[in-house]
Amino acid sequence: MKKIMYVMLLIIIIPYIIVTIFIYDDEIKFTYATNMTVRVKRNATSKIDEVPLEQYVMGVLAGEMPASFSLEALKAQAVAARTYVMKRLSTNKKNSYDVVDTVQNQVYLDENQQKSNWKDKYTELSNKIKQAVLETKDEYLVYDGKIIDALFFSTSIGVTEDSEDVFANEVPYLRSVSSTWDSVSPLYDKEYVYTLEKFYSLLGLKYQDKVNVEITSKTNTGRIVYLKINGTKFTGWQVCNKLGLKSNYYKITQEGKTVKVVARGYGHGVGMSQYGAEGMAQAGYTYDQILYHYYQGTEIKKI
């Protein structure tokens, strides 16, 4: 009877060990036995790589969030990245790939790219992001039982945006929330200075001595939706792209023959702010508290 029990235990335990085993030496190493892979289209070569899910999440952490961030912020990013790609896995089954490796989906860096970026710090930083992935293994976010669209961005303006103010669709878990922790970001406030000639040239406008700016539409948080510059209508994002700004929350002022633009934040503003997550982590919040703050009404589930 005891022999039967031992055999049964081995049958149950050994596959689990094979799936989750990792080895601590100088570098944390994973080995996987899983059929859950992500088809990643590499932008540089158009080649499609099939990558195990958790390895893909590690690559996204390496590409999307500074490895110097606090562990709890990295863990929040790991869950958001895993959730994001699981949503794509469920909708792209008929396509030849699930995601691309750029900001069009999520920036993904493979091991060689990580080594190239981090050089002699590779082992240290790689271990840190692997720890974040291990400690959140298989976790993802749902709302009303369904996988969410876990959008994220770099830096808020002190508050995030309602989804419909940016992407048209109203999503119940992508609500505007306070994000006062973003002041830790180097892009929270950034000043740009242009000569008058350069300013007009970038915008494709005829030179005039006087710059007249009229804001015609804003979101509830103050992001610019539409504006007129010397009578020419632009969207807030058109001006961003033309002037090289990181956010559509900005103020334009003329000082003689120069134009000063002060912009706040980086990115679309919907979902989780990465620097907000870092600020929350520094303030003592855990990764699940960070996620529940930015994705309202959601739950963490395990695959």
Tell me the one-letter amino acid at 94: K
99 is written with which tokens? 């995601």
- What is the tens place of the pLDDT at every residue in 81-113? 999 999 999 888 888 999 999 999 999 999 999
Tell me the one-letter amino acid at 232: T
Domain extent listing, the chain: 34-183+269-302, 189-264
Q: Compute the average pLDDT of residues 22-41.
A: 61
Q: What is the DSSP letter of 73?
A: H
Q: Compute the average pLDDT of residues 195-218.
A: 97
56 is written with which tokens? 């893909």
Tell me the one-letter amino acid at 88: R
17 has pLDDT over 70: no
273, 152 contact by CB (below 8 A)? yes
Average pLDDT of the chain is: 90
